[in-house]
Amino acid sequence: MLPSSSCLIIQGDLMKPRTWMLSTEGQVVMGPDDSFINGIAAVFASYYNFNLQYPDDGSCTLEFIQRCFLGINPEMGSKSKKKQLGGINPHVSRLVRKLVDFEWMLM
């Protein structure tokens, strides 16, 4: 059974995936495709195009990728469901701050 939130389904070996598919609302809506970067882009595009909230169990990871690798840093608000001071998850904020301190940011 597929989750109702947007989800990247990886096919193949865990360390060497062959292809990916995108599911939304329990249905496969895209793929298969062999470019993992296209898969990540498709997941984030689905959250933003359909104005979906990040699922609770993956919200920190998705928000970290959004802010650090994609450079999407809104002044206010977040795609996470939980209320956050200043709109940024405190765990994500702390990790980003530590990465900036050590100059490990990709941006």
Q: Write the pLDDT tens digit of every residue in 15-24.
A: 888 999 999 9
From first to last of the 107 residues of the chain, give the pLDDT tens digit.
888 889 999 999 878 889 999 999 999 999 899 998 899 899 989 998 988 889 888 888 888 888 888 888 776 656 655 555 567 788 888 888 888 777 765 55
- Locus of tokens 């900036």: 100
Cα separation, 21 vs 34, whole angstroms:
9
DSSP assigned state of 80: B
- Locus of tokens 């928000």: 63
The residues spanned by each domain of the chain are 1-52, 55-107
